[in-house]
Amino acid sequence: MHLTKEEERLLAGEGGEALRKAMEILLTLGEMNNAERLIPITSAQVSGVSYKTIGDAGLEFLRDMAESGAKVKVLTTLNPAGAPVEAAHELGFPEEFIRKQREILRAYESMGILVSCTCTPYYVGNLPRFGEHIAWAESSSVIYANSVIGARTNRESAISALAAALVGKVPEYGLHLSENRQGSFRVEIKTKLESSTDYAALGYYVGRNYKGIPVFAGASPQGEDLKALGAALATGAISMFHFAGATPEYREEKLEKIEVGEEELREAWEELNTCEEPDIVTIGCPHASLKEVLAVAKLNPRREVWIFTSRQVKELAERYIKNENIKIIADTCMVVAPLEELGIKCIGVNSAKAAFYSANLSKISVRFDSIENLLREE
């Protein structure tokens, strides 16, 4: 890989140990993927925030990085934490967990990272424009940026996104290159998709069975539908999709076709459903948009529902929501919070991503259904 003089100097340790390590990571990942050079980025989104997922090992690494005094070079936001930054005690999170979680956030903050604690950075001001190169971790935001915004990012890990943010660059390979952003197969939708939950089931089915860049046709999704579709696709190995009439890089291409109808969606539905009576209904994976929060309020739920979202959306939505059954929780979500430790056994979700990770990471049973059905009283 070709390095500039300045990059060589960083690699030699002239910018300090943290930057040397960051450069070495970028160089190695670049060479492993046959990149020719590093290119500047305009934005980063860093994952690896919840104490539940990174544990003491991650905390130790971040503490050391923070102590080295390294600072990020570009606008950098952060994924959700394992507990709300402020109201964690009220919700019954264990004391030790809250303490460790706060230490992680402090380490990130001292590196100049904005403690946004959301997986939807594009809803809170980290919004790249079409064609920009960025380094995002968090698979659901990666696929949204590539597909819906048309910005360019590979699926970075917690460490590679942090390294890119510190150097302000990424190796140029994969989805940074136009030739790797074309569709690889076409998905004809042969059934009516009625809610974002249907899009999530579609994404889960395709992500489970295929790799590459799917090109969808045959429906008219809203922005939130594309968010749900992408998050579900990304539970597999997919980091970009196109959608006829809905995403900016869609083009007519001659591609191999598959059809997805009612039967395929039912297959996804059955796989994701493992219980019937949820202890609690949780919305907001990825974090709910303003529109989604207001839509839940409009249903006037008569059972308790937790909505996970960003602090910004919470702040605005709460001014207009009076229903006491609606609890809006910022900074965290049902996937990265230790819900299993709060005694929850069966969780109601409208997100395929939440369903997948609740079952596999938290070992909680799931009822996967539309918001309307989850909130309907028997």
Query: Residue from 1, 10, 19, 25 that binds other proteins (CB under 8 A)?
Result: 25
> Measured at the alpha carbon of residue 193, what is the angle toward residues 192 and 194, in degrees to the nearest 5?
110
Nearer to other proteins, 9 or 327 (CB): 9
Q: Supply the minimum distance, in Å, between the C-beta of residue 152 and other proteins.
A: 18
Nearer to other proteins, 104 or 293 (CB): 104
Query: Residue from 7, 10, 19, 21 that binds other proteins (CB under 8 A)?
Result: 21
Nearer to other proteins, 138 or 369 (CB): 138
Helices and strands in the chain: count of H runs, count of E runs: 13, 14
Q: Supply the minimum distance, in Å, between the C-beta of residue 258 and other proteins.
A: 28
Of 7, 162, 157, the C-alpha closest to 76 is 162
- Rounded Cα–Cα distance for residues 146 and 230 (Å): 10
Nearer to other proteins, 33 or 300 (CB): 33
Of 73, 28, 32, the C-alpha closest to 169 is 73
95-110 vs 51-67: helix axis angle to the nearest 10?
A: 40
Q: Supply the minimum distance, in Å, between the C-beta of residue 48 and other proteins.
A: 7
Q: Supply the minimum distance, in Å, between the C-beta of residue 187 and other proteins.
A: 28
Of 112, 178, 104, 170, the C-alpha closest to 137 is 170
- Dihedral sign for Cα atoms in the order 378, 337, 228, 267: negative
| Binding segment toward other proteins, per CB under 8 A, in 156-164, 169-177, 187-195, 269-277 | 156-164
| Binding segment toward other proteins, per CB under 8 A, in 46-54, 67-75, 93-101, 229-237 | 46-54
| Binding segment toward other proteins, per CB under 8 A, in 53-61, 83-91, 186-194, 258-266 | 53-61
- Interface with other proteins, residue 14, by CB under 8 A: no
Nearer to other proteins, 50 or 309 (CB): 50
Q: How many CA atoms lie within 13 A of 342 on its CB side?
A: 20
330 φ, ψ to 5°?
-100, 165
| Binding segment toward other proteins, per CB under 8 A, in 28-36, 123-131, 233-241, 365-373 | 28-36
The one-letter code for the residue type at 242 is: H
311-318 vs 290-298: helix axis angle to the nearest 10?
A: 40
Peptide bond into 286 cis (omega under 30): yes
Q: Supply the minimum distance, in Å, between the C-beta of residue 137 and other proteins.
A: 9
Query: Residue from 43, 77, 147, 160 that binds other proteins (CB under 8 A)?
Result: 160
329 φ, ψ to 5°?
-120, 125
- Dihedral sign for Cα atoms in the order 220, 226, 228, 233: positive
Nearer to other proteins, 23 or 219 (CB): 23
Structure tokens at 80: 């959700």
**Binding-site string for other proteins from residue 54 to residue 93, where x marks contact by CB under 8 A and - marks none:** xxxxx-xx--------------------------------
- Interface with other proteins, residue 125, by CB under 8 A: no
Query: Residue from 42, 68, 110, 157 that binds other proteins (CB under 8 A)?
Result: 157
| Binding segment toward other proteins, per CB under 8 A, in 90-98, 155-163, 305-313, 337-345 | 155-163
Close Cβ partners of 252 (under 8 Å, ≥ 6 residues apart)? none
Helix (H) or strand (E) holding 160: helix 158-167
- Dihedral sign for Cα atoms in the order 67, 68, 73, 76: negative
Q: Supply the minimum distance, in Å, between the C-beta of residue 282 and other proteins.
A: 23
Q: What residue ranges bind other proteins (CB under 8 A)?
A: 21, 24-25, 28-29, 32, 48, 53-58, 60-61, 157-160
